[in-house]
Amino acid sequence: MNNFRFFLLFLATVSMTFVYSNRVVFGFTVICQQNGNESEQVTYVDPDYYLLDSLNVAWMFTATAIGMCLGPAPFYFAHFLSTRVLISSYGFISGISSILYPFADSLGFWPALVCRFLAGFAQASQLHFTNDLVLRWTPQSEASFFFSIMLATSQFGPLFTMILGGEMCSSSFFGWEATYYILGVGTLIASFAFAYYYSDSVEENCTLEESEKKYILAGKHASNKKETVPYKALLSDWTIWISLLMFTGYYLAMIVYQQYSPIFIKQVLHFTIRETGYFSAIPQFIAIFIKIGCGRLLDVKFGCGPKLTLVIPLLVMEAGSAFSLFLTGFLDDRVWALICMMIFASLHFFVPVICSRTIQIRAAQHSHFALNLNMVIAGIAQILIPLGVQAAVPDNSRGQWAFVFYFLVITIVITSVLYTVFSKVSAAEWTIQKTASEYTIYRLSDISPPEPITIPMPRECKY
Q: What is the pLDDT of residues 421-463, one digit of tens each?
A: 999 999 999 988 654 444 454 544 443 444 444 444 444 444 3
* Largest Cα span, the chain: 79
d(CA 445, CA 336): 58
d(CA 112, CA 101): 6
Mean pLDDT of 269-277: 80
Question: Which range among 109-113, 173-177, 181-185, 194-198 shows the weakest confidence by mean pLDDT?
Answer: 173-177
d(CA 406, CA 404): 6
Number of neighbours of residue 172 by Cβ within 10 angstroms: 11
Closest CA to 14 of 149, 167, 177: 149
Give 77 or 290, the one with higher predicted confidence. 290
Give 411 or 40, the one with higher predicted confidence. 411
Q: What is the pLDDT of residues 70-89, one digit of tens each?
A: 999 998 887 778 899 999 99
Give 177 or 273, the one with higher predicted confidence. 177
Per-residue pLDDT, 12: 96
b/e map of 83-92 (b: 16 or more CB within 10 Å)? beebbbbbbb
Give 274 or 462, the one with higher predicted confidence. 274
Closest CA to 123 of 185, 51, 66: 66
Q: Are 220 and 444 in contact (CB under 8 A)?
A: no
| Arch. (CATH architecture) of 227-427 | Up-down Bundle (1.20)
Q: Are 404 and 392 in contact (CB under 8 A)?
A: yes
Q: Are 321 and 416 in contact (CB under 8 A)?
A: no
Q: What is the pLDDT of residues 339-396, one digit of tens each?
A: 999 999 999 988 988 998 899 889 988 898 888 888 888 888 878 887 788 889 888 8
Per-residue pLDDT, 111: 96
Q: Give the percent of the chain with pLDDT over 90.
A: 41
Residues whose CB is less than 8 angstroms from the CB of residue 249 and which lie 6 or more positions away in sequence, other chains included? 351, 411, 412, 414, 415
Per-residue pLDDT, 158: 80
Give 277 or 201, the one with higher predicted confidence. 201
Position 10 confidence tier, pLDDT thresholds 50, 70, 90: very high
Position 226 confidence tier, pLDDT thresholds 50, 70, 90: low
Handedness of CA 362, 366, 368, 374 (dihedral sign): negative
What is the SS3 assignment for 255? helix
Per-residue pLDDT, 401: 93
Same fold: 1-208 with 227-427: yes
Question: Is the pTM value of this prediction over 0.85?
Answer: no
Q: What is the pLDDT of residues 114-134, one digit of tens each?
A: 999 999 999 999 888 998 998
Per-residue pLDDT, 385: 82
Average pLDDT of every residue of the chain: 85
Beta strands in 152-210 (DSSP E): none
Q: Which helix (H) or strand (E) holds 385?
A: helix 367-392
Q: Are 185 and 92 in contact (CB under 8 A)?
A: no
Q: Domain-by-domain residue ranges, the chain?
A: 1-208, 227-427
Superfamily of domain 1-208: MFS general substrate transporter like domains (1.20.1250.20)
Give 45 or 58, the one with higher predicted confidence. 58
Put residue 198 in one of left, alpha, beta given phi > 0 → left and psi -120 to 50 → alpha.
beta
Per-residue pLDDT, 445: 45
Per-residue pLDDT, 242: 94
